Structure 1
Amino acid sequence: MVAPLLQTHVDIDAPASKVWALISDFRRMPDWSPQCRWMRALGPLRAGTRTFNLNRRNRMFWPTTCTVVEVIPEKRLAFRVNTNGTIWSYELEPSGRGTRVTESRHAENGVSAISNLSVNALLGGTENFERELLKGMNASLANIKAAAERG
């Protein structure tokens, strides 16, 4: 069974404007995410914009598309993975001298049957894959933190 919510956060010693510039540039997603190899928006960043993505796990590659569902500059960015219906989001909030960034994967309504089948047949099962996703989310946030805090 798919976890309804995977979530992690990091505190970044940088203003929300700098962090937002990094996460809202989908072309840079491969710089953050260990699974994403390529991501392109098919239009300006706004609700309804679609993206085309290429993901990788070891030697396996697969394409996905997403639809941006929410854009609140310097506060929240969320997109739905069209294949499985999950919503991925980044939320930014003030934290001390900087910004807390929370990355979430929402699957409160489960995932599509084809996604379940694929994860079980090709990715080692839901529990294993979700462990990898959480590890990847932590790596993504660490990479965003490093970029935001650099000079």
Structure 2
Amino acid sequence: MPNTLEASIDIAASPEQVWGVVSDLKRTPEFSPQTKRVRPLGRTLHTGTWMVNLNRADGYWYPTTSRVVRFEPNRAIAFRMTENHTVWSYNLEPTANGGTTLTQRRDVPAKLPWWLQKAIDTAFGGEEHFEAALVDGMHQTLDRIKVTVEH
């Protein structure tokens, strides 16, 4: 499994406007085709905040937990999944025309736990299918964020 999957999009809005949507993690299900629920634990979002998530892929429902490992307002947010240690992030870069390039990224540890690798192989059709679906989902997510922010 590669260490990184990544997708980017240019949005005609300031980093502050994009951040207002991206950092509201409860809204993730509006944008992500796989994430059905995100519940940050606590009153404010910051590095160290725990989240409980519910996801659905290929007909399977599965819960996950994660923790915010990077929180830089108007620049970046990243969270590490407890179950597999992958890190999902959004990075915001201002563009010359006053817009923002938004990048969603998934970084994978050197080796996944054996049980997760087995689940990917059996339930999700193998790594190639699983990762193609993730990249497709990243593009859908970014497209939906763009439409929301620009309108």
- Residues 90 and 105 of structure 2 are in contact (CA less than 8 Å); yes or no, is this contact kept in structure 1? yes
* Residues paired across the two proteins, number: 149
SS of the equivalent of 1:97 reads coil
Map of 1:85 onto structure 2: 85
Map of 1:74 onto structure 2: 74
List runs of 5+ in structure 1 lacking aligned partners. none
TM-score if structure 2 supplies the norm length? 0.95
Residue by residue over 1:25-49, the C-alpha shift from the partner in whole angstroms, topping out at 9 and shown as x without a partner, is: 1110001100000001002211111
CA distance in 2 between counterparts of 1:109 and 1:21 reads 33
- Residues 37 and 56 of structure 1 are in contact (CA less than 8 Å); yes or no, is this contact kept in structure 2? yes
Equivalent AA in structure 2 for residue 55 of structure 1 = N
Moved over 6 A (4+): none
Equivalent AA in structure 1 for residue 11 of structure 2 = I
Equivalent AA in structure 1 for residue 117 of structure 2 = N
Map of 2:45 onto structure 1: 45
Please give the residue correspondences for 1:108-127 in structure 2 after superposition, counting only pairs within 5 Å.
108-127=109-128
How far off is 1:124 after superposition? 0.5
- Residues 67 and 82 of structure 1 are in contact (CA less than 8 Å); yes or no, is this contact kept in structure 2? yes
CA distance in 2 between counterparts of 1:84 and 1:70 reads 18
SS of the equivalent of 2:55 reads strand
- Residues 29 and 36 of structure 1 are in contact (CA less than 8 Å); yes or no, is this contact kept in structure 2? yes
- Residues 64 and 83 of structure 1 are in contact (CA less than 8 Å); yes or no, is this contact kept in structure 2? yes
SS of the equivalent of 1:143 reads helix
The CA RMSD measured in Å over matched residues stands at 0.9
Map of 2:61 onto structure 1: 61
TM-score if structure 1 supplies the norm length? 0.95
Equivalent AA in structure 2 for residue 24 of structure 1 = S
Map of 1:35 onto structure 2: 34
Please give the residue correspondences for 1:96-115 in structure 2 after superposition, counting only pairs within 5 Å.
96-115=97-116
CA distance in 1 between counterparts of 2:119 and 2:79 reads 21
CA distance in 2 between counterparts of 1:51 and 1:102 reads 21
